[in-house]
Amino acid sequence: MFSFLFTVLDGYLLWFTLISWIRWMCGVKLKDRLPTKELRERLGVDDIALILQQNRLHWYGHVLRKDDDVWVKKCMEYEVEGSRPRGRPKRTWK
């Protein structure tokens, strides 16, 4: 099963890539200094942060409606016993 954790850095890189694609599709250069919002309205494209938030909420709704014995729901309600060790985490799994 494929698992993907979307970080803030990934969101920034995706946003930057999307903006550059939108500028390329509109034939606009950075030195033309047109706002991104105006270009998105021209193409009818939503903000990527809004799309990602909607997808997360959509998935969360699916998880909440699942039975209590499904592993995804168990993972959401799981509490780890004990405390974390001091210092930086190890870089490898054992």
**Quick one: which of 7, 3, 43, 9 has its CA closest to 23?**
43
**C-alpha–C-alpha distance, residues 71 and 41, integer Å:** 41
Q: How many helices (H) and strands (E) does the chain have?
A: 4, 0
**C-alpha–C-alpha distance, residues 23 and 32, integer Å:** 10
**C-alpha–C-alpha distance, residues 53 and 73, integer Å:** 20
Task: Give me the pLDDT at residue 6, please.
Answer: 72
Task: Give me the pLDDT at residue 94, please.
Answer: 64
List the pLDDT tens digit at each of the 94 positions of the chain.
444 667 778 888 888 999 999 999 999 999 999 999 999 999 999 988 888 889 889 999 999 999 989 998 888 888 888 888 889 887 877 6
pTM of the model as a whole: 0.61
Beta strand ranges found along 1-94 (DSSP E):
none
**C-alpha–C-alpha distance, residues 77 and 42, integer Å:** 44
Task: Give me the pLDDT at residue 5, please.
Answer: 65
